[in-house]
Structure 1
Amino acid sequence: MISQDTIVALATASGAGAIAILRISGADAITIAASVFQSVSGKDITRQKSHTLHLGHIQDDTKIYDQVLLSLFKGPNSYTGENTVEISCHGSVYIQQQIIQLLLRKGCRMANAGEFTLRAFLNGKLDLSQAEAVADLIASDNEASHQIAMQQMRGGFSNEIARLREELLNFASLIELELDFAEEDVEFADRTQFFELLSRIEFVLKRLIDSFAVGNVIKNGIPVAIVGEPNVGKSTLLNALLNEERAIVSDIAGTTRDTIEDELVISGIGFRFIDTAGIRETEDVVESIGIRKTFEKIEQAQVVVYLFDASQFAVEGSGIRVEIEKIKNQFPLKPLLIIGNKADKLTDAQKAQAVNDIPQLLLVSAKENSGVEDLKEKLLSFVNTGALRNNETIVTNTRHYDSLIKALEEIQKVQFGMRSGISADLLAIDIRQALYHFGEITGSVSNDELLGNIFANFCIGK
């Protein structure tokens, strides 16, 4: 599976910049780099120590392409586990391409997507879950997703899985040994200790599986739909949350004809706000399409913010309560935040009456930017950030989640089998399946198709 050729790719973002880094990895990486690099001190880089820096020029015969800084990493003490060279050149796109083409002529080939990290995995520098965390780290766009990716890349998740797998494997070996002495009717595995281990594994697996609900929203952002009748201030509220004029605001009902989306990070958690068309009866064809899209977005959202005009509550109180009940009944499983906007137009007595009539009502004035911070706190309450603060393992990867579910099913089969007193050979089958699903997570069990699917999502230079 490990390719023996030497690969090259741009490791920094494509385009012009102050500097660019070209990465070379493979058995001949240092030799090929030496053929195009001339040190200013006259040193032969093939004779230099690993983890050293060298100033010089990239040149082809007498043609000089650039003055560069060359970083030398000798395998196995490198990211990929192979000889690796990184060339820091000036960030001109022309210079980047000229050096890459020169290296291709000297014997390199262009790296495939994620091939450097794939080689790190195949050479035992990372397990599969750590390798996937590298991609998550690159894609992280808020503090929470960055923290989770760092924890997984440093082995937090894979270490927990490896410990469970090792303990289960030890008992599995004893069960398998019993099968070799089946005729003598002996037990090498203490059934009481084994059942305690299975209970502990079940507890950990359930905790990891439950963490996926939090991890998934942290990784992908939490979609929040802002809904309500026309002219209640949905677009004004979106602008207040984002602190910019993102949505068009006017007194004309039906101004927002389509959904408008933007993202905001609150205390390290990403929220994706969706400003929707006002819900009302209309004969306008375009507005009707927007209203239909509103209900589609509510289906996709994880949190629904229902906004109404608090200044009209004294007049239309019963009608507003009816609309709130409709939203609750139509989407009973979605958390609903009920927000009364334009609170600056209410007297203290009217505010008290509104809060008394509608449980858990939050009054805001989007125009005056009043109560917006309280709304952000309410949104954060829907995310269990305790696991982050306590540095607990959080599952964010759908592939890991699927393997954990399957492993739990097999562990529960083993527990049922032990309570039912089934034979050791049948127990061994379910234990092997549980071990298989543990191995899928860390890459102890893998195949070319799985690896291809995972690393195809990486950027080329990683």
Structure 2
Amino acid sequence: MHFHSNDTIIAPATAVSNSAIALIRLSGTNAVACVAKHFSGKNLFEISPNTSVFGRIKDGKNAVLDEVVVTVFKSPRSYTGEDVVEISCHASPFIVREMISLFSQAGARLAEPGEFTLRAFLNGKMDLSQAEAVADLIASESKAGHNIALRQMNGQISSKMAVLRANLIDFASLLELELDFSEEDVEFADRTRLRQLVEEIDGEIRNLLNSYSTGKLIRNGIPTVISGRPNAGKSTLLNTLLQEDRAIVSDIPGTTRDTIEEVIQINGVQFRLVDTAGIRKTSDAIEATGVHKTYEKIRKSAIVIYLFDPGAITVEEIRHDLENLPETEAEIILVANKSDKLLAGNELEAFTSAFSAYELISISAKLEHNIDTLRNTLYEKVLGQTNYQQQVIISNGRHFEALSKARESLEIVTSGLAEGLPSDLVALELRQVLYYVGSITGAIGTEDVLGNIFGKFCIGK
């Protein structure tokens, strides 16, 4: 991405679709002039800032292209910090194309992906973590994902990083001062207080790093695999959780040959459900491929629902299946299906006793018995101990990497203080910590990093 801050950019801010209204956005010094040249209505140079007016856009031959509502935002009180004009027109692809062509001929150029938000960052309207949160907010697919992105966009991560940097800068400054007076052998920084500060900062960073696994799951959705032997009722359970007939249900073992993936929301959190082929040895090449895919999905999952029919399987067979699951860090929930077919009241006792280390739930997927309990268990397994609505949570891989490197440097600082290393060596590592923490908000950054971040945005943002 090439950075140009003096020209005027234009892009559609809405997708081309069969909707009523489309929005075209311009930003830059000549944004108002580009639109005013083709606008018939009030004088756009004379209207009050942040005001919307009705009028018509005319082409180069003075023919009316469309009736529009134009909103003018004056610098610095705009999204980008520059003069911004937004045009609400009818969503005809022809109209949108023609308007962009007209305003481009008047001096605007087509914006690059994320360039509006990049300008907002460069003009001090938001820091880098807030800019990234804008993209997360646009892409959010659940209430929880929206909640985290919105709080980050409003400065939650920024505030946390600002406190960390302020404390680090205070002591780094004292260490740097010691270097200026190194010949006098004077210590301006209290080493005991510095060690205490490093421990406090390390604790804060550790908490943020620990939150990443939760943040990533909320951001991307929680991969949840429904596994088990053939005819355990996996496809029926998927359909019940979805409240629709998504998967084919049959009494014939091996009906599901490939994975089926769907999404549900539980308490505002997105779960990515995967119905899989039944686990068993088979000579059928296609079914064997399906079983292989089942194991691949389990490796990448956060939760595995092992579904079984108590009347058609033994404790030893379940134990064999569990022991032969691929290596995974997923939470495993045992779910006894077809409770409607259990005649006596003690059929589950042997399973409950043998697998006391696991959560075991009895359901009837067909009759929807105890399905709410299963839903609540899925949520509790991953997020039950996390107050994601209040807690500061990182969900961005770049932030995780920067904080990991900052903590590595902090560990060197801790060791250096314990071993009595000279101030210049301790100061060197503190500078590294400051660099990594600052890179999260853009207090320190490079053009390559900015290009990588904003290049992932949509064109009109």
Are the structure 2 counterparts of residues 163 and 254 from structure 1 closer, same or farther at C-alpha, using a change threshold of 3 Å? same
Residue of structure 1 equivalent to 2:352: 355
Q: Is the 8 A contact 2:334 2:361 kept in 1?
A: yes
Q: Is the 8 A contact 2:259 2:294 kept in 1?
A: yes
> How much has 1:435 moved relative to structure 2?
0.5
CA distance in 2: counterparts of 1:369 and 1:198, whole angstroms = 53
Residue of structure 1 equivalent to 2:449: 450
User: How does 1:60-71 map onto structure 2 within 5 Å?
Assistant: 60=59, 61-71=61-71
> How much has 1:90 moved relative to structure 2?
1.2
Structure 2 segments unaligned to the other structure (5+ residues): none
Q: Is the 8 A contact 1:75 1:83 kept in 2?
A: yes
User: How does 1:113-128 map onto structure 2 within 5 Å?
Assistant: 113-128=113-128
Query: Cα deviations across residues 292-329 of structure 1 (Å, max 9, x unaligned)?
Result: 1111111111211111112225xx343334333433xx
Residue of structure 1 equivalent to 2:6: 4
CA distance in 2: counterparts of 1:423 and 1:321, whole angstroms = 58
> How much has 1:365 moved relative to structure 2?
0.7
Q: Which moved more, 1:78-87 or 1:284-293?
A: 284-293
Are the structure 2 counterparts of residues 217 and 35 from structure 1 closer, same or farther at C-alpha, using a change threshold of 3 Å? same
Aligned residue among 340, 346, 350 for 2:336: 340
Q: Which moved more, 1:430-439 or 1:292-301?
A: 292-301
> How much has 1:434 moved relative to structure 2?
0.5
Q: Secondary structure at the match of 1:350?
A: coil
More helix by proportion, 1 or 2?
1
> How much has 1:281 moved relative to structure 2?
1.9
CA distance in 1: counterparts of 2:385 and 2:232, whole angstroms = 35
1:366 is matched by which residue type in structure 2? A
CA distance in 1: counterparts of 2:336 and 2:238, whole angstroms = 14
User: How does 1:22-171 map onto structure 2 within 5 Å?
Assistant: 22-39=24-41, 43-60=42-59, 61-171=61-171
> How much has 1:386 moved relative to structure 2?
4.6
Structure 1 stretches of 4+ with a deviation exceeding 4 A read none
CA distance in 2: counterparts of 1:258 and 1:201, whole angstroms = 48
Query: Cα deviations across residues 393-441 of structure 1 (Å, max 9, x unaligned)?
Result: 1000000000000111111211111111111111110011111101110
Give the TM-score taking structure 2 as reference length.
0.95
Residue of structure 2 equivalent to 1:421: 420
Give the TM-score taking structure 1 as reference length.
0.95
1:335 is matched by which residue type in structure 2? E
Structure 1 segments unaligned to the other structure (5+ residues): none
CA distance in 1: counterparts of 2:297 and 2:135, whole angstroms = 28
1:16 is matched by which residue type in structure 2? N
User: How does 1:12-23 map onto structure 2 within 5 Å?
Assistant: 12-23=14-25
Q: Secondary structure at the match of 2:196?
A: helix
Q: Is the 8 A contact 2:310 2:348 kept in 1?
A: no
Residue of structure 2 equivalent to 1:322: 320
Query: Cα deviations across residues 216-269 of structure 1 (Å, max 9, x unaligned)?
Result: 111111111111111111101111111110100011111101111111111011
RMSD: 1.5
CA distance in 2: counterparts of 1:374 and 1:147, whole angstroms = 25
Query: Cα deviations across residues 371-407 of structure 1 (Å, max 9, x unaligned)?
Result: 2111111111122355435511100000000000011
1:199 is matched by which residue type in structure 2? E
> How much has 1:3 moved relative to structure 2?
2.5
Residue of structure 2 equivalent to 1:369: 368
CA distance in 1: counterparts of 2:388 and 2:299, whole angstroms = 30
CA distance in 2: counterparts of 1:317 and 1:437, whole angstroms = 52
CA distance in 2: counterparts of 1:134 and 1:320, whole angstroms = 46
Q: Secondary structure at the match of 2:20?
A: strand
Q: Is the 8 A contact 2:16 2:91 kept in 1?
A: no
Are the structure 2 counterparts of residues 357 and 191 from structure 1 closer, same or farther at C-alpha, using a change threshold of 3 Å? closer
1:18 is matched by which residue type in structure 2? A
User: How does 1:254-333 map onto structure 2 within 5 Å?
Assistant: 254-313=254-313, 316-327=314-325, 330-331=326-327, 333=329
